[in-house]
Amino acid sequence: MPVLPDGTKLQPLQYPTLFRRLLGSVLNIFRGEQLRLRDGGVEVVDDLISEFICYAYNEKPFRNHLWTRETKPRRWWESLAKDSNASLLSVCDFTQLVTLHT
């Protein structure tokens, strides 16, 4: 995600096409998880989008979690589930998301 010259983030209308597609996929995966778990509703969507934007900009808490050669993607995401700033995004199975867009 590009950072604007003044250090601010992009506004929704400025999001790159790939980011919009990924965000749409994240929302679909999350909706599926909500249905599967019968938990949550539309009231958390804004928080999920905020978490995804932080992930895209590599902000806390995502940049604070160590990623080494031995790190497994699913375990990394599961470790974020305990963080209130990543708990919604962490329930999405990102191994599916990567598969959708490769």
pLDDT in tens, 18-27: 999 999 988 8
Q: Cα separation of 58 and 27, whole Å?
A: 19
Range with top average pLDDT, 6-10, 37-41, 54-58: 54-58
**In a domain? residue 5:** no
Q: Cα separation of 92 and 55, whole Å?
A: 13
- The encoded tokens of residue 34 equal 């909500």
- The confidence score (pLDDT) of residue 93 equals 58
CB 66 within 8 A of CB 29: no
Q: What is the pTM of this model?
A: 0.74
Provide the domain count of the chain. Answer: 1
Q: Which domain holds residue 18?
A: 14-100
Of 94 and 70, more confident: 70
**In a domain? residue 1:** no
**In a domain? residue 6:** no
**In a domain? residue 79:** yes
